[in-house]
Structure 1
Amino acid sequence: MFTPPISRSSTSSRSSATAGYGVSSYGPSSPAPSSPSLASSLLSSSLGTSPLTNTLSSSVRRHSIYGTEDRIVLDLGSFYLKCGFSGEPRPRHILQVSGQVQDHQRTGACDEACRKEGLFSPLHDIAIEEEDLPRLEAALKHHLFRMYYQLLLTDPRQRKVIVCERPLWPMPLKKLLMRLLFDHFQVPSISFAPSHLLSLMTTGSTKGLVIDCGHLETTILPVFDARPLFPYVASTVRAGKFLSKRLRRLLLTYASVSTHGRPIVESMLTDEAVEEIKTRLLFASPFRPMRGASDNSGAGEDEDEDGMGDSGENWMRDTSAATDVEIRLRTSSGESLDLLIPGWVRERAAECLFDGDEDAPSITQIVLDTLLRLPIDLRMPMAENLLLAGGTAQLPNFQSRLHQDLIRTLQEDREVQGKYASLSALVDTLLFVDGRDEQIRVFQPSCRAWVGGSLVGAVKTNGPEVTRAQYDGTVPDWLASPPTPPSDGPGREEGAGER
């Protein structure tokens, strides 16, 4: 984990997130560049080249590391918590927040002796029940205590907080987080900022269709003129958790122990092992293989809950050219095993994200459905500025595969006058923001929302802010009174307000 050293020199400080990324943001101040900046030229013309000018210029560009004007930026996910100070180009720390914290339930207090224990499981689910709140409160209290006093080494009472908020966050989680920050840690204020808007800000654009592929769900939200269009939000459960479930079933069926050749049993595949295999070995196929007539004839007869049956897996296995890979994993009993994973499983496991049905539409379907629901004059700007965010979007070839699926679906519907025939004019305009500069990514999709929050804190702007004095137990919620969509759009997705 990257922990930058902090110099005690009075002239050192953290540089802005908008500074050059190739230069170290920490350490003693570097010599001034040979060519003066525009701000320096204006100061020189008005104040001359006196020592006062140099001091004023330095104070404008840098501030003391002992100041408290930097805000704490939090990006809380179901598996990881990203934290750091505003104005920095990357999170200081990424904490794993899965598991349980039993010590809080026994003692009711958090100190340096607290340790996380329990299974590798998400911090919360899409729907939070009443009986889950005590466990969730204990876990959040523990991780926030560790973040403030052991990692960031700062007093929470002196720094404001910016929270990167998902549009479909469970309301009990939001209320619990605000109550802990205000009552337990006594932070001065909390600002909630939409994570999709923050992700888009890292590209320098104010309009686009942001696709956040997380662990629990994939959420799509259009943003125009730096305003999130909440009535058009859409989501699907085909995300990281859905992929992990399908990968586990494929491994139990087709993988084997290479040293003995025996099949894998359930006890060998822990949640940590499945997550490691998913992040290290899986990739999305860059193209969708064509099914033969014989494969289509049996489709639907033996499909499982993932939407793939034996016939679907047969044609996946026949159309894959990926190599088999061995990986050493440690079981729950502490035994080390060498697993042989077929190459077609590595390549085709992610097909469940691009093949959907009525109950769980694919990512391709919800992207096109969102474009179809938008007003006509907004479709072109959204199609020209597609952006991926979230950890699941970091699968190799994920972006190129989604791009190909979008184009292919529009082309097929144009020929048969299908559901998306009215969007056929967008085929040549579908572009991803990251795909314009030879796939160069300055920021990883999993950290985009945090970097956007850091930028918001650096320029001293934010969304609605709730101070500790104003806090009365209620939390701001855009779902309480969402803006009315235009007449030619059906509004936000049905059931979205039930979260």
Structure 2
Amino acid sequence: MPLFEGLSYGGEKTAVIFDIGVAFTKCGFAAENAPQFIIPTEVRKRKTGQLVNIHKCCSETPQDLRSVLVDFVHRLYFRQLLVNPKERRVVIVESMLTTTTHFRNTLADVLFKHYEVPSVVFAPGHLVCLFTLGVSTGLIMDVGYTETTVMPVFEGTAILKAWQALPLAGKAIHDYLEASLKESSSVEGGESGDKPISSFMDSIDESILEDIKVRCCFVTSHERATMYNANEVSTSPLEGPPAVRYPLKGDRVATISGKIRERTCEVLFEEDCEGRSLASLILDAILQSPIDMRRTLAENLVIIGGTSMLPGFNHRLRSELYAHLKQPPYSEKLSLPAFKFHKYPAKANYVAWLGGSMLGALETLASKSVTKEAYTLQPLIPDWCSLYVAEEKEKVVGATKKLEAGSRPLSSKKLSSSLSVDSSPRSSVSSAARAAARSIAGILSSASVDSNATPKSS
């Protein structure tokens, strides 16, 4: 638990922040600058004892997913954070494009009914990561494990019609790395001498592939990649980086060639059959945004996700953007002077968690959360773009009844706008009704989020 809690008396406990990614889960407390733990998003099934990823259980029965989530959340609370779930609010940082409704509803049901947490709020990761930068506009690229997503955000509003996604991320690197190791890497040690790595294992564990990727691989420059592509039809080999030796179990050591180290990450930047790559995702998102936003978005690129932490990733992405910008159709439709990348006060793999930590430290957290009492009355989790919860709906209904009893019926928008500035003592409406109308105005203004609610293009 946070250290400062032991020095204080009374008050509300610090909120718990969860960022349940596809590969890894970050957990910690609000108002802290880093998560307490980063663990694999895996749990053992009770019946079979098999270690499974909890996101892969979404296709199974609701009972199986619920059982897996109960065990996983139990691990987070009682083996990692060591706190009582009944005493702390919960902030779930989620991906708008990868988290399914079935998963979030089951997770909310587990938190409220099994662990009896006071309240839960689901925060979109592409929005809260901007909290860490102190800006409200940016083009967020999340390079995760299974896919890469791009979401433009302008003045705190997500431009949903311009989002982009591509199944090129850490999993694609792992698949290419495993195939390359089986094809050309050898293993030393033991009585058998040097043998291909495929003779020792049919499949390489994901944890080993992740470790090799982090320790040995890097993203080469755009110039080197062009030379490699030109060298494929040439007879003279291109000199590469030195090979490295990677220790395996026992006394076995695998030799990883320089070509594998340099070429593995090229899968992220090679175009698919439709001509799409990571660079084209950003340009397509900018192209589908209104014209008066494009330059601002290009100058506020926010690259997050664990895969983006590979050495040389940002430099290569910037080079690819300029190279694509000179080719059609982008050369005919876009005129962007520069691409600028933000530097954040945290590692790229937990920037979204840090934004959730800042959200959990705000005084407005309670008003934005779904309480246990409201969930008991109506077991539904609102979408992230809707700020209406059961308590707010009751305020609106109650205020409307009071106002209808004291004056002629008006629309809620006209009513809130007229009464929010009416402080005359001769008004026929009571002070309680005026306060309720002001709350209606605040709710309506804060909940005006629309997928196409973007400034008009010039």
In 2: Cα distance, 1:186 partner to 1:317 partner: 67
In 2: Cα distance, 1:205 partner to 1:487 partner: 18
In 2: Cα distance, 1:135 partner to 1:326 partner: 42
Question: Given that residues 214 and 239 in structure 1 are in contact (C-alpha distance below 8 angstroms), is that contact kept between their aligned partners in structure 2?
Answer: yes
Question: Given that residues 58 and 65 in structure 2 are in contact (C-alpha distance below 8 angstroms), is that contact kept between their aligned partners in structure 1?
Answer: no
User: How many residues are matched?
Assistant: 386
The Cα offsets for residues 420-470 of structure 1, whole Å up to 9 and x where unpaired, read as 1145521x3201012xxxxxx530010101111111122224584211222
In structure 1, what is the equivalent of residue 426 of structure 2? none
In 1: Cα distance, 2:30 partner to 2:303 partner: 22
Unaligned regions of 5+ residues in structure 2, if any?
Answer: 387-448
Compute the displacement of 1:315 (Å): 7.6
Unaligned regions of 5+ residues in structure 1, if any?
Answer: 11-63, 107-116, 297-310, 435-440, 490-499
In 2: Cα distance, 1:141 partner to 1:339 partner: 39
Question: Given that residues 141 and 302 in structure 2 are in contact (C-alpha distance below 8 angstroms), is that contact kept between their aligned partners in structure 1?
Answer: yes
Choose from 28, 37, 41 the match for 1:84: 28
Choose from 182, 186, 198 the match for 1:256: 186
In structure 1, what is the equivalent of residue 38 of structure 2? 94
1:70 paired to 2:14 = yes
In structure 2, what is the equivalent of residue 178 of structure 1? 108
Compute the displacement of 1:378 (Å): 0.7
In structure 1, what is the equivalent of residue 452 of structure 2? 484
Choose from 276, 279, 282 the match for 2:211: 276
Choose from 129, 147, 150 the match for 2:79: 150
The AA in structure 2 aligned to 1:240 is G
In structure 1, what is the equivalent of residue 320 of structure 2? 405
Choose from 251, 256, 270 the match for 1:341: 256
Identity %: 30
Change in Cα spacing, 1:134 to 1:346, as seen in structure 2 (3 Å) is farther
In structure 1, what is the equivalent of residue 362 of structure 2? 459
In 1: Cα distance, 2:331 partner to 2:154 partner: 24
Question: What does residue range 72-471 of structure 1 map to in structure 2 within 5 Å?
Answer: 72-98=16-42, 100-103=43-46, 105=47, 118-119=50-51, 122-125=53-56, 128-131=58-61, 133-168=62-97, 169-259=99-189, 260-265=193-198, 266-267=201-202, 269-289=204-224, 291=226, 318-319=237-238, 321-330=240-249, 335-358=250-273, 361-411=276-326, 413=327, 418-422=328-332, 424-426=334-336, 428-434=337-343, 442-462=345-365, 464-471=368-375
The TM-score with structure 1 as length reference comes to: 0.70
Question: Given that residues 289 and 319 in structure 1 are in contact (C-alpha distance below 8 angstroms), is that contact kept between their aligned partners in structure 2?
Answer: no
In 1: Cα distance, 2:115 partner to 2:33 partner: 26
In structure 1, what is the equivalent of residue 409 of structure 2? none
In 2: Cα distance, 1:315 partner to 1:279 partner: 31
Change in Cα spacing, 1:199 to 1:486, as seen in structure 2 (3 Å) is closer
Question: Given that residues 320 and 347 in structure 1 are in contact (C-alpha distance below 8 angstroms), is that contact kept between their aligned partners in structure 2?
Answer: no
**In structure 2, the residue corresponding to 1:198 is in which secondary structure?**
helix
Choose 1 or 2 for highest CA Rg: 2
Change in Cα spacing, 1:315 to 1:450, as seen in structure 2 (3 Å) is farther
The TM-score with structure 2 as length reference comes to: 0.76
**In structure 1, the residue corresponding to 2:283 is in which secondary structure?**
helix
**In structure 1, the residue corresponding to 2:352 is in which secondary structure?**
helix
Compute the displacement of 1:135 (Å): 4.3
Change in Cα spacing, 1:95 to 1:67, as seen in structure 2 (3 Å) is farther
The Cα offsets for residues 356-384 of structure 1, whole Å up to 9 and x where unpaired, read as 22468311111111011011111011100
In structure 1, what is the equivalent of residue 411 of structure 2? none
Change in Cα spacing, 1:367 to 1:424, as seen in structure 2 (3 Å) is same
In 2: Cα distance, 1:452 partner to 1:479 partner: 17
Question: Given that residues 163 and 191 in structure 1 are in contact (C-alpha distance below 8 angstroms), is that contact kept between their aligned partners in structure 2?
Answer: yes
In 1: Cα distance, 2:87 partner to 2:384 partner: 28
In 1: Cα distance, 2:369 partner to 2:6 partner: 34
The Cα offsets for residues 244-283 of structure 1, whole Å up to 9 and x where unpaired, read as 1111111111111134332121436222221211122111
In 2: Cα distance, 1:358 partner to 1:182 partner: 45
Change in Cα spacing, 1:343 to 1:271, as seen in structure 2 (3 Å) is same
The structure richer in helix per residue is 2
The Cα offsets for residues 88-137 of structure 1, whole Å up to 9 and x where unpaired, read as 11111222222x4233x48xxxxxxxxxx535x64324x93234x44443
**In structure 1, the residue corresponding to 2:373 is in which secondary structure?**
coil
The Cα offsets for residues 454-494 of structure 1, whole Å up to 9 and x where unpaired, read as 111222245842112222333223599962366999xxxxx
In structure 1, what is the equivalent of residue 407 of structure 2? none
Compute the displacement of 1:75 (Å): 0.4
